[in-house]
Amino acid sequence: MFDALSEKLQKTFKNLRGLGKISESNVAESLREVRMALLDADVNFKVAKQFIGRVKEKALGEEVIASIQPGQQIVKIINDELVGLLGAERSELDLPRGFALPLAMMICGLHGAGKTTSSGKLARLLAAEDRKPLLVGADVYRPAAMDQLETLAKQLDLPCFLMRGEKDVNKIADAAMAKAKEEGIDVVIFDTAGRLQIDEPLVQELVRLRDRVEAREILLVLDAATGQEAVSVATHFDEALGITGAILTKLDGDARGGAALSFREVTGKPIKFAGI
């Protein structure tokens, strides 16, 4: 995913390592190249600007200027800041064991982002960790979504709850949670409806579902290839729902990495999973 960005940064790093002395002018020139590389990778403009500001402040600090290899120090600063953008530590799902009632999680996102596939992968992961997941079809607008979820559940040999023909998502949620309690399910995964773009009816439906099931995890599925658009999508979903993290999908495409580098900085929420 980051091949193009890495290639451009390596050229800048090579030049930086050769610097025997650091000045504001040569640091500014190098960081201009870094900024252009980030923007070419479709990193959000504000994120790139803030990133360069932090690196510049640290690069012109007394410790770096006085060091034996100042150029190498700046390369390390840039690397550390990039790691910080993505998140230095793995963020686990907040799904503690031992609850009397099943815990709910919502998988949200726009059409085509990969919500249903991600729901199946999460269910498989939880089952491998000796949990008992239930996949729930909560997309009442696209019949094929329920068919896809049912097929996926059969392939994974995992339980799936569907109420074909029911248009009230809250009724589906109530029935799914009741079934989960009866059958000893401990995690209920709601594969929610998407849209081609964010609209108020979608948001309100998701808010009602969140409140109904008291969702402990609300994961936003983002197509890694969407770049700048991903920032807008993430901001809207986070403001409406208070998402707990993201799943980045389609990382095997020609994505430039902008969505991954922008998401955490803009929302303050972690990227919990990445998929292809």
Q: Name the residue ranges covered by the structural domains of the chain.
A: 3-86, 103-274
- Summarize pLDDT for 61-74 with one digit per residue, the tens: 766 656 657 778 88
For position 8, what pLDDT does the model report?
84
**In whole angstroms, what is the distance from residue 208 CA to residue 206 CA?**
5
For position 30, what pLDDT does the model report?
86
Look up the CATH number of domain 3-86: 1.20.120.140
Pick the CATH number of 103-274 from 1.20.140.10, 1.10.1380.10, 3.60.21.10, 3.40.50.300: 3.40.50.300
- Summarize pLDDT for 198-210 with one digit per residue, the tens: 788 888 999 999 9
**CA triple 135-235-3, angle to 5 deg:** 85
In the predicted model, residues of the chain with pLDDT beneath 50 are none
For position 256, what pLDDT does the model report?
67
Distances (CA, A) of 184 to 95, 99, 160, 177, 249: 15, 11, 14, 11, 31
Inter-residue contact 117 to 152 (CB < 8 Å): yes
For position 100, what pLDDT does the model report?
82
For position 1, what pLDDT does the model report?
59
For position 4, what pLDDT does the model report?
75
**In whole angstroms, what is the distance from residue 260 CA to residue 247 CA?**
10
3-state SS class at 138: strand
Tally of CB atoms within 10 A around 77: 19
**In whole angstroms, what is the distance from residue 169 CA to residue 219 CA?**
18
Cβ-count burial of 159 within 10 angstroms (0-12 exposed, 13-18 middle, 19+ buried)?
middle
